[in-house]
């Protein structure tokens, strides 16, 4: 029943560093990790690249792999597209415009920002929501970990996911065409790199799932760019190049602001809600599946705390970064970015994406008859297990161990609590 497709993951296990502590196993929402023979293993078809295991590992045994800055040298003309959360990484002492300008000194020819188009894309989302009154709620698709969570755990909700390009993908599309026309550079010589706050965005760039057509040439970690930028700023090297900033559009760094923007005063009312954190999203998705949230028009859902500001590649913690970004939005001047091009893209249907396909992992067998038998076997094993969900066996819960045993991937002897009970004559 397991999907044969090979999935790309921006999460890599470094076995030498792993002590088999099972911290990661317990935190994984899709139960994609097991410790076997003292080392952690990643179940490729289950992993959604949320990165919670990376954050929780004390031994640096689970690492992320974003594209290196050096990869940009393969291209003649290099463009960086910044996630809105990047603006929250710099303290008050550092002017954001100066930080952005420094990116031009580390090898890029042009810089774009997600914030240039968040307003126009919010208006498309609002329009999409009004055009699909029978689907409620509609769920945002900007966060790749959420899209993948829905594919593997809630495939029945795939029609609820908005099938529209995200701002950074739309910008990649726009800049490839603009540079080709204006600078007469062949598309294959134009390198478009997303500066991303998380591992899921790296995965989405390398293996897009419908919603993300492969529009970027690579995804570089915000951390790496931050380090380079700080280096340039400390040396006080000035550049003559200029660049604009678009603070009013930084809204999409924070889930709550993204939801409020869809329901802005300029538009017809839409009932929106924002959910952040993968475990919170999971709870809300269960409610959506039960049709408990049909009164909501649009729900913004993000893997990380507060939204993209909580991404694991960020330097600053999500609360400080949120506060800074909110301040920038409040004080920032409105800088208009011409949106006619995007209006045309939207009306020509070029913002539409491929239909999202399920990646189900829950089924126990391809035949319902066999699956019922397995379910009974699992129940029998669960009765024998201690029910502590301690993960010491290497599976996340007693139920998961029972499932692994029935699937032939583990043995009841892996349960050390049972082993001790048996040795002590069931005294424990």
Partner 1 sequence: MIMSEFWYYRESKEPEAKKFMENKPEPDYDLSYSIGERDFVNTGKASSEIKLALKRLGVDNTILRRVAIAVYEAEINVTAHSRGGNIIANIYDNCVHVVFKDNGPGMKDINQSMEPGFSTADEMIREMGFGAGLGLPNIKKNADVLHIESQEGANTFLELVIFYE
Considering beta carbons, is residue 269 or 369 the nearer one to partner 1?
A: 369
376 lies in the binding site for partner 1 (CB under 8 A): yes
Closest CA relative to residue 85, chosen from 208, 218, 198: 198
In angstroms, what is the minimal distance from the CB of 289 to partner 1? Answer: 5
Q: How far is the CB of 356 from partner 1 (least distance, A)?
A: 12
Pairing of strands 62-64, 11-13: antiparallel
Q: Residue 132 or residue 267: which is nearer to partner 1 going by CB?
A: 132
Minimum CB separation of residue 300 from partner 1 in Å reads 21
Distance from C-alpha of 352 to C-alpha of 348, rounded to nearest angstrom: 9
Q: Which CA distances in Å does 97 have to 62, 86, 195, 242, 397?
A: 34, 12, 16, 9, 49
- Residues 347 and 32: their CA atoms lie apart, in Å, by 40
Integer-rounded Cα radius of gyration of the chain = 23
Q: What's the Cα-to-Cα distance from 24 to each of 30, 226, 282, 378, rounded to whole Å?
A: 12, 27, 18, 24
Residue 375 touching partner 1 (CB under 8 A): yes
Shortest CB 3 distance to partner 1, Å: 13
- Residue 370 tokens read as 């066999």
Which span sits near partner 1 by CB under 8 A: 267-275, 345-353, 371-379, 412-420? 371-379
- Where do the DSSP E strands lie in 114-235? 138-139, 190-196, 218-221
Residue with smaller CB distance to partner 1, 287 or 420: 287
Closest CB 4 distance from partner 1, rounded Å: 16
The distance of closest approach from Cβ of residue 122 to partner 1 in the complex, given in angstroms and rounded to an integer, is 27
Residues between 104 and 123 with contacts to partner 1, criterion CB under 8 A? none
265-297 in b/e form (b: 16+ CB < 10 A) is eeeeebbbbbbbbbeebbebbeebeeeebeebb
The secondary element (H helix, E strand) that includes residue 29 is none
Q: How far is CA 262 from CA 6, 163, 328, 331, in A?
A: 36, 16, 19, 21
Contact residue for partner 1 among 240, 366, 383, 408 (CB under 8 A): 366
Residue whose tokens read 């952005």: 100
> Per-residue x/- mask for partner 1, residues 264 to 303, rule CB under 8 A?
----------------------xx-xxxx--x--------
Q: Least distance to partner 1 from the beta carbon of 79, Å?
A: 39
When the beta carbons of 186 and 363 are compared against partner 1, the nearer one is: 363
Q: Show the binding pattern over residues 139-168: x = contacts partner 1 (CB under 8 A), - = does not.
A: ----------------xx-x----------
Residue 218 DSSP symbol: E
| 369 is an interface residue for partner 1 by CB under 8 A | yes
Number of residues that bind partner 1 (CB under 8 A): 25
Q: Would you give the binding string for partner 1 spanning residues 343-362, x where CB under 8 A is met?
A: ---------------x-x-x
Binding site for partner 1 (CB under 8 A): 1, 155-156, 158, 286-287, 289-292, 295, 358, 360, 362-369, 371-372, 375-376
């Amino acid at each position: 029943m397991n999907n044969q497709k090979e999935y790309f993951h921006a999460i890599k296990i470094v076995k030498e560093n792993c002590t088999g502590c099972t911290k990661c196993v317990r935190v994984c929402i899709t139960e994609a990790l097991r410790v076997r023979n003292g080392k952690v293993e990643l179940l490729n078809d289950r992993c959604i690249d949320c990165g919670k295991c990376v954050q929780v590992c004390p031994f640096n045994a689970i690492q992320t792999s974003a594209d290196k800055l050096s990869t940009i040298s393969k291209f003649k003309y290099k463009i960086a597209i910044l996630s809105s959360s990047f603006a929250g990484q710099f303290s008050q002492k550092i002017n954001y415009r100066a930080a952005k300008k420094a990116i031009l000194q580390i090898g890029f020819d042009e810089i774009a920002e997600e914030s240039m188009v968040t307003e126009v894309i919010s208006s498309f989302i609002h329009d999409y929501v009004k055009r699909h009154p029978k689907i409620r709620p509609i769920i945002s698709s900007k966060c790749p970990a959420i899209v993948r969570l829905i594919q593997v755990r809630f495939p029945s909700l795939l029609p609820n996911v908005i099938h529209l390009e995200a701002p950074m993908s739309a910008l990649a599309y726009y800049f490839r065409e603009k540079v080709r026309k204006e600078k007469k550079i062949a598309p294959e010589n134009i390198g478009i790199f997303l500066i991303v706050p998380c591992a899921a965005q790296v995965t989405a760039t390398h293996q897009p799932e419908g919603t993300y057509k492969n529009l970027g040439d690579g995804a570089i970690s915000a951390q790496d760019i931050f380090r380079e930028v700080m280096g340039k700023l400390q040396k006080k090297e000035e550049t003559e190049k200029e660049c604009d900033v678009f603070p009013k559009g930084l809204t999409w760094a924070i889930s709550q602001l993204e939801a409020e923007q869809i329901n802005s005063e300029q538009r017809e009312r839409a009932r929106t809600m924002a959910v952040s954190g993968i475990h919170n999203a999971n709870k809300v998705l269960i409610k959506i599946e039960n049709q408990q949230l049909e009164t909501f028009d649009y729900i913004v859902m993000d893997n990380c705390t507060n939204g993209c500001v909580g991404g694991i590649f960020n330097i600053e913690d999500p609360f400080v970064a949120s506060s800074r970004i909110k301040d920038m939005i409040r004080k920032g001047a409105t800088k208009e970015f011409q949106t006619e091009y995007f209006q045309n893209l939207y009306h020509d249907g070029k913002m539409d994406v491929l239909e999202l396909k399920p990646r189900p992992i829950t089924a126990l067998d391809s035949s319902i008859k066999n699956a019922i038998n397995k379910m009974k076997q699992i129940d029998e094993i669960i009765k024998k297990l201690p029910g502590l969900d301690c993960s010491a066996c290497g599976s996340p819960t007693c139920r998961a161990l029972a499932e692994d045993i029935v699937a032939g991937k583990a043995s009841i002897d892996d349960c050390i609590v049972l082993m001790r009970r048996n040795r002590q004559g069931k005294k424990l």
